[in-house]
Amino acid sequence: MTGGGRRGRRPGAPDTRAAILAVARERFAAAGFAAVSVRSVAAEAGVDPALVHHYFGSKRDLFLAALEMPVDPREVLAPVIAAGPEGAGERILATILGVWDDDELRLPLLALARGLTDPSGHLLQDGFLPVVIGPVLAELGVDQTERRLPLVISQIIGVLVLRYLARLEPLASMPAEEVVAAVGPTLQRYLTGPLP
Amino acid sequence: MTGGGRRGRRPGAPDTRAAILAVARERFAAAGFAAVSVRSVAAEAGVDPALVHHYFGSKRDLFLAALEMPVDPREVLAPVIAAGPEGAGERILATILGVWDDDELRLPLLALARGLTDPSGHLLQDGFLPVVIGPVLAELGVDQTERRLPLVISQIIGVLVLRYLARLEPLASMPAEEVVAAVGPTLQRYLTGPLP
């Protein structure tokens, strides 16, 4: 309305928050989590770093907000971790299917999955996995220097693609517990079983 | 050049072949393999059905051409079938990775995978699986009334997405034989092992 003024200096303005998020999303996608500082996001958005923390909390919180995750994986996966590595394959998959089976969450989750697997970005390798999934496996005592993590993710992504994106039958309509019973042992082997 | 004339009546014209393919692609994607006849494709392309057969062979061949598969899965998978169900999980994956590891085939294969998993289409459920993959499993003696096929596909798609699309390390750079050693047992269980 004022015309030509610099955007984003008004702390309470909704477009300030959106501007920070847009910068964060672009920077995290281009460079991964570790290489991006809250300070650099704030500078590019034309705001004070304190305002970024005020809106979003920690850098990790900013990352999750930039991913537009409709649920907080820390909360959702906490019971999985608490029960220990035995049966974790089944519990992880049951938890993920529980979230994805929610009609209201599916579209944002599909958008998230597309963003994560975008080959031009760094969100999966240098963001989502070390920031979101890595800590879960660490708390389960899974050795992350091995190839266990990508194997786990490969089976989960395949189920998500067929069940929710391609909607392949019978996988699309199977009760979640049947999918868990069939696929869970695979995840358990990738997590804690013998690998070549 | 002649202006306003009906397209596609000249047998030798390259655009006749392209027009048939375009119609076939659209019809197969919209309705699946079984519901589309060569006759209906020919009619919509404004050519004689004999010309479709002349250019493409059988309806199955037309389907593979419409998918723009850069290799013929019948040829590629024939040795997998010939050696029987034991170890087929490893051999199927080794064969698929061998094709996808070829730099020249990767882009057309990624385009194919995108088309197959397009949720608005029928190419996977009613085309690729029954026409291309089903016969392979049948020759291996795998019971297709069960859920084995989608489970097999889920693990294969997950590996392809991470290794070739998202290029997640270490999966993107692992020698194919190490991927086969780690993931092959999963496929073998889905093919012939006990399922709940």
pLDDT band at A145 (very low <50, low <70, confident <90, very high): low
Residue B120 CA, distance from chain mean position: 17
**Which of these three, A38, A67, A96, is where a domain ends?**
A67
Phi, psi of A97 (to 5 degrees): -65, -35
Closest CA in chain B for residue A193: B182
Are B51 and B144 in a shared domain? no
Q: Which residue has the tokens 């016969």?
A: B135
Q: Tell me: pLDDT of A5 over 50.
A: no
**Which of these three, B23, B48, B67, is where a domain ends?**
B67
Interface of B with A (CB under 8 A): 116-119, 124-125, 129, 147, 150-151, 153-159, 161-162, 165-171, 174, 178, 181-183, 185-186, 189-190, 195-196
* Binary contact (B125, A189; C-beta < 8 A): no
Rounded to two decimals, the pTM is: 0.86
pLDDT, position A4? 43
Kindly state whether residue A1 falls inside one of the protein's structural domains: no
Kindly state whether residue A186 falls inside one of the protein's structural domains: yes
What is the rounded average pLDDT of the residues B46-54?
A: 96
Are B50 and B78 in a shared domain? no
Domain total for chain A? 2
Q: Which residue has the tokens 């477009």?
A: A15
Q: Residues A168-188: pLDDT tens digits?
A: 999 999 999 999 999 999 999
Q: Per the structure block, which two tokens stand in for A91? A: 């519990």
Are B86 and B124 in a shared domain? yes
Are A115 and A32 in a shared domain? no
Residue B81 and residue B139 in contact, taking contact as beta carbons nearer than 8 Å? yes
Closest by CA to B127, choosing from B117, B142, B137, is: B117
Instruction: Write the CATH number for A40.
Output: 1.10.10.60
Are B80 and B176 in a shared domain? yes
What is the domain extent for residue B59?
14-67
Are A26 and A96 in a shared domain? no
Chain B residues close to A169, C-beta within 8 Å: 125, 150
Closest by CA to B128, choosing from B161, B153, B146, is: B153
Instruction: Write the CATH number for A176.
Output: 1.10.357.10
Q: Tell me: pLDDT of A79 over 80.
A: yes
Kindly state whether residue B101 falls inside one of the protein's structural domains: yes
Residue B97 CA, distance from chain mean position: 14
pLDDT, position A137? 87
pLDDT band at A196 (very low <50, low <70, confident <90, very high): confident
Are A101 and A121 in a shared domain? yes
Q: Tell me: pLDDT of A144 over 70.
A: no
Kindly state whether residue B114 falls inside one of the protein's structural domains: yes
Are A52 and A101 in a shared domain? no
Helix (H) or strand (E) holding B177: helix B176-192
Distance CA A139, CA A166 (A): 33
ipTM of the complex: 0.85
pLDDT, position B144? 67
Kindly state whether residue A187 falls inside one of the protein's structural domains: yes
Kindly state whether residue B9 falls inside one of the protein's structural domains: no
Q: Residues B73-120: pLDDT tens digits?
A: 888 999 988 999 999 999 999 999 999 999 999 889 998 988 888 888
Are A90 and A184 in a shared domain? yes
* Binary contact (A147, B174; C-beta < 8 A): yes
Q: Residues B125-146: pLDDT tens digits?
A: 899 988 988 888 888 888 766 7
Closest CA in chain B for residue A110: B119
Kindly state whether residue B120 falls inside one of the protein's structural domains: yes
Kindly state whether residue A3 falls inside one of the protein's structural domains: no
* Binary contact (A186, B189; C-beta < 8 A): yes
Are A30 and A102 in a shared domain? no
* Binary contact (A157, B153; C-beta < 8 A): no
Chain B residues close to A196, C-beta within 8 Å: 178, 181-182
Are A134 and A185 in a shared domain? yes
Radius of gyration of chain A (CA): 19
Are B23 and B97 in a shared domain? no
**Which of these three, B38, B67, B96, is where a domain ends?**
B67
Using CA atoms, how far residue B50 sits from A131, B36, B47, in Å, is: 59, 16, 8
